[in-house]
Structures are given as structure tokens and as C-alpha cells.
Structure 1
Amino acid sequence: MQENLMAGRVRPAHNPVMNIPLNALRAFEASARHLSFTLAARELNVTQAAVSQQVKNLEARLNMTLFRRLPRGLALTEEGQALQPALADAFGRLASVLQQFEGGRVREVLNLAVVGTFAVGWLMPRLAAFRQAHPFIDLRVFTHNNRVDLSAEGLDFAIRFGDGAWRGLGAEMLVEARMAPLCAPRVAAALRRPADLLDGELLRSYRADEWPRWFAAAGLPDPLVRGPVFDSSLAMAEVAIQGLGIALLPVAMFQRPLREGLLAQPFEHTVTTGQYWLTWLKSRSHTPAMRDLHDWLVSEAHRSDDKDEGLPTR
């Protein structure tokens, strides 16, 4: 025990496994993935002999054979099969972390969940501008149908539709969702007054109060709506584009199909049943990247207030 003492501490036992060169592990991982020293050498930009020697050194340190050398390539032994996935995962994780370092700054990953209608109709056309303004934020976008759990899904933010009242969440309104009937132009041509909608196929969302509220805004009694129900405004819009029904949709989210003549807005009456909100966990402090995304979204939403008012009715 005396010879193992230095400055009152026990020297750790020498472990040759802990001193394995990284190059040897990298050579093995690449060779195991390609089952070829030659292809591994091309990937690592070294000679085939160097890769083979690195693997031999690793086998000697571990005192086990990792490959069976075959006339045409390599085959992993049981020991090699056990080591390969662990190294592949470790190198993958290391590469993922190193990718966050660029130009002397750390790239921060942000996970943003977005209700599909908002993602396609508002966010996607603006993502290039965000990336140009914030090149060191690695934004990852996930779509949902307005049902999302930030904590369970590891999300930084979620954009959803509603009234802004979600327990335990901070919320900031981005875009007002003014709803109007939208349909194919040939369907719109047959509609002269709002009451004509009662004879059409009215497509519905799972929010049952939307059509009644629109008819009330148009000065008409509560209708009996029996059309099909959709959990996605995008799917409902596609059915309307095909001329198979009339959809009550947020006009600001469907500017492109309106401009392209795929959809038409036959009447000027609109009704608001909710807004699109940026939400986050109140219990979590915002990182610098989260603040940047928050501020950019709010700024873009304010800029789009006047532009996304909808197209003139026919």
C-alpha cells in the first residue's frame, strides 16, 4: 500500500484500455461499417495499410480478434459486433456536438412544434429569412394538429391555435385567425349570397362552433351542418381545392392558393374563433437563442398584420 501512495492519494490502477488511441477506434469503426479496410482508408484519407495496422494495434490492446480476414473483405467477430454499435453511437454523438461549434461560436439547437396550417401557410415562407438573420441557431421544426406537450416532447416552443390560455405555459399572440369560407373558383361562381352556402357541402373542423359563428356574423340563423369533419385545415383545404366542398379557413394562412386561383373567397364576412400563439413552459428560463427566435417571430407577425389581411372577395 505504501508504494501506491502519493501526496496522501491512492494511484489509480493502470488500465491499458483507457489509453487506446482515438485513431485506432476510428479505424475500427469505419472498417466495421464498410467491412473493408480499403473503403475505410478512403473515408479517413489514409492508406489501407495504416487502417489495417491501427486495427491490429487495437486488437492487440484488447487481446481479442475483431475481424475475420476473408478473401473478399472482412467479417466481424462476436467481439467486433459487440464493439461496433457502441463506437458508432459515441462517434455520432461527438460529431453532433462538434457540429454546434462554428466560426468561434456555439450553434444552439431549438426545437419548435408548429400547428401544420401555420407551418405551411406562414412559417415556411419565412424560414430562409430567419436562417439568414440567425445562422448560429439550428432550428428544428415539428408539425402537430394542435395537440402538443412541450415538456414530454422536449420542445423549446410550440405554436398553436386557441385563446392563449394554457395552464403552466407562457403565451404571446402572433397572428389573428380570421375565418372565411374558401372554395374552388367554380364553386364560388355559383354562390351569390351567404344563404347559398346552406345548399353546399360545408366542410368542418373538430371545433363545432366555427360555422355557426360565421353564419351569425353574416346575419343568418344557426345552420344544420352535416359535412365531413377534419382534424387538419390543410386536408380540408385540399378537399375544397378539388371542388368537393366549402371550407371555413383562416384566410391569412391560405394566401398562396388564393393568389394562384386554386381557392376563392366568395364573401367578405369573417369571424375570429382564435389566434395563433407562441407558447413555452413558464418554468423554464429562455436561452439567448430562444429569445432571438421569440423576438423574430413577434417582429415578423407584426410586419405581416397588414400584408396578410386576405384577398378582395370576388
Structure 2
Amino acid sequence: MDRAQLPLNALRAFEASARHLSFTRAGLELCVGQAAVSHQVNRLEALLGVRLFHRLPRGLALTDEGAALVPLLVDSFDRMAAMLDRYASGQPREPLTLGVVGTFATGWLLPRLDAFTAAHRFVDVRLRTHNNRVDLAGEGLDYAIRFGDGAWHGVEAEPLLAAPLTPMLAPRLADRVRSPAALAGATLLRSYRADEWPRWFEAVGLACPPLTGPVFDSSVTMAVAARAGAGIALLPPAMFADALEDGSLVAPFAECIDTGRYWLTRQKARAPGPAMRAFRDWLMDACETAGPQA
């Protein structure tokens, strides 16, 4: 399709309708009538040759094709808005889009992010959290901070911080868990990495009991469950220092296992610009100050 013929009004109408799942509410946002929004979406569907919505008696539902188009449009509109803001403010600011695994975001980056933005006011930080599954190119990310072994195809990975895991639990459960052997009778909360508890029990010389506790795709939500007394979680103390300090979680054992570390990753084909270089240099210095990488 010729860029000069891009149906921008139709794309905007579709994006608003996808967020609201309603032509009527999209029209209210865009200050046009429901019929005008419907007409623009119909025009876009005809142009693309696919259905973007299922029309339901009460509202809309995205088709697979529509769901695939939404994130691309959201990212494009965000980038256009950021560029227009730069012109309107008269201040040359460069956007930096970061995808950060939730545990690192809440436990390490967010308490320090103000220091970065204060020192690099030309950088407009856009932060998105993920559960360690991320697509740098598909999500339009400049960098992604993730946990693992650093071996991701087509990705340049630099080590940030180690994050050994140890059992952590609510204080009211501590009296029941005075030795590693006592964990065999407790509810053990699990991550999607199934080898963590077996490896910890192996490290303390015990057989791993049957694992039947709930499975979480995020250490942040697993820590919330542990604080609520739902069970015992294997967590990195370095990322939950506040919870250990305020006593909402306790770590009764010294034994830890190393299952990976946090990495700063980018596409190998992506040449870093000034904002990316500034963030990378600041992050490396901050991590080196916080603790050893090995």
C-alpha cells in the first residue's frame, strides 16, 4: 500500500474501537458518531480484505487478524505522539522503550529510575513490564531486561545482576518451618521453571516432595501470595529487600540456588542511539555499584 494512501482516520477508528470494543464509545472519544466509526472500520476491512471484528449483539470482539493489528497500531501512534510532543515542547527528547521483567522492575529499577531521568533529561522513558517472555522486534523495544542464561537467538545480552533464589514466606508461617525438611509438608508455590524446587532440595541434600502448589508466571505475584500466607516461594532476596526489611516476608534458610541472572538485551541488528547508550552506561554503573555480576 502506498504510504500516501494510508487510511489514517480508519486506522484511528479501528484502534479506538479495539480498546473500547464498541463503535459508540469509540465515537465519543473521537468526537464523531457511531455510524462514522463503523463506516471507517468497514472501509479498513474492505481495503485489507479481512474482518477485524466480530459484530456481536452487545459490542465487538476482535478477530485474530484484528488482535494482531492492535499492538502495531498502538506502538505507532505512541511513537507519533512522542515525536509531536518533542516538537510542541521545543525540547529535543528521544524516546527509549524498555521491556523489563516485573521482578527486576519493582525490586530494583523503579526505585532508581528517577536518578536516571534526572541525569538524562533528553531521554523519554517508556516502560513496559513482562513475565520474562518478550519479543524485542515485535513489541518495538529498544532494550529488554530479562532473567535467564543469556542465550537468546539474535540478541546481544550483557549481564547485570545475579539473583540466587531462597525460600521466603510470611512471618506467621515461620514457626512451622524451622528446618528444610519441614518444607515437605508445606504448600510450595511454583514458577513456570519447573526445576527450581528440585534443585533447591538437592542443594540441601533432601529429596524433593511432590509439588502441588499453584504455578505463577511472575515472581511479583508469587511474592504477593507468599506474603498472604498462601505458601512458600523461591524468590531472589536481592529483588525483595524491602519485604525482608519491613518483615512482610522472611527468609529462614541461608541455602540459595543460582538459576540464572538478569541481562540487558537488544537486537543485534539494532544500532544504539544516544538514549540507548546513556541508559546502558548508567545501568551498568548502577549494577556494578549494587553488587558483583558474577
The TM-score normalised by the length of structure 2 is 0.70
- Provide the residue aligned with 1:236 in structure 2: 222
Deviations 1:223-261 (A, max 9, x none): 322111111111111111011100001111111111111
RMSD after superposition = 2.5
Would you say the 8 A contact 1:172–1:278 is kept in 2? yes
Report SS of the residue matched to 2:165.
strand
> What are the equivalent positions in structure 2 for 1:268-283 lying under 5 Å apart?
268-283=254-269
- Provide the residue aligned with 2:290 in structure 1: 304
Report SS of the residue matched to 1:219.
coil
User: CA 1:95 to 1:244, structure 2 compared with 1: closer, same or farther past 3 Å?
Assistant: closer
- Provide the residue aligned with 1:250 in structure 2: 236
* Structure 1 consecutive aligned stretches of length 4 or more whose deviation exceeds 6 Å: 92-95
Largest Rg, 1 or 2: 1
Q: Any gaps of 5 or more consecutive residues in structure 2?
A: 1-30, 38-77
Structure 2 residue identity aligned to 1:169: V
2:195 maps to 1:212? no
Cα deviation for residue 176 of structure 1 reads: 0.5
Structure 1 residue identity aligned to 2:289: R
Q: In the aligned structure 1, how far is the partner of 2:262 from the partner of 2:195? A: 18
Report SS of the residue matched to 2:97.
strand
2:284 maps to 1:293? no
Cα deviation for residue 208 of structure 1 reads: 0.5
Q: In the aligned structure 2, how far is the partner of 1:94 from the partner of 1:147? A: 26
Would you say the 8 A contact 1:101–1:107 is kept in 2? no
The one of 134, 151, 155 aligned to 2:141 = 155
- Provide the residue aligned with 2:60 in structure 1: none
The one of 222, 225, 229 aligned to 2:208 = 222
Structure 2 residue identity aligned to 1:227: G
Q: How many residues align?
A: 221
- Provide the residue aligned with 2:151 in structure 1: 165
Deviations 1:257-307 (A, max 9, x none): 11111000010100011111110000111111111101111111111117x
> What are the equivalent positions in structure 2 for 1:15-30 lying under 5 Å apart?
none
Cα deviation for residue 189 of structure 1 reads: 2.5
> What are the equivalent positions in structure 2 for 1:29-44 lying under 5 Å apart?
none
- Provide the residue aligned with 1:141 in structure 2: 127
Cα deviation for residue 98 of structure 1 reads: 4.7
The one of 68, 83, 107 aligned to 1:97 = 83
Structure with higher strand content: 1
- Provide the residue aligned with 1:263 in structure 2: 249
2:193 maps to 1:177? no
Would you say the 8 A contact 2:184–2:208 is kept in 1? no
Cα deviation for residue 99 of structure 1 reads: 3.1
Report SS of the residue matched to 1:100.
helix
- Provide the residue aligned with 1:192 in structure 2: 178
User: CA 1:226 to 1:260, structure 2 compared with 1: closer, same or farther past 3 Å?
Assistant: same
Q: Any gaps of 5 or more consecutive residues in structure 1?
A: 1-74, 82-91, 309-314
User: CA 1:293 to 1:101, structure 2 compared with 1: closer, same or farther past 3 Å?
Assistant: farther
User: CA 1:217 to 1:93, structure 2 compared with 1: closer, same or farther past 3 Å?
Assistant: closer
Q: In the aligned structure 2, how far is the partner of 1:121 from the partner of 1:170? A: 24
The TM-score normalised by the length of structure 1 is 0.66
Structure 1 residue identity aligned to 2:228: Q
Q: In the aligned structure 1, how far is the partner of 2:253 from the partner of 2:174? A: 9
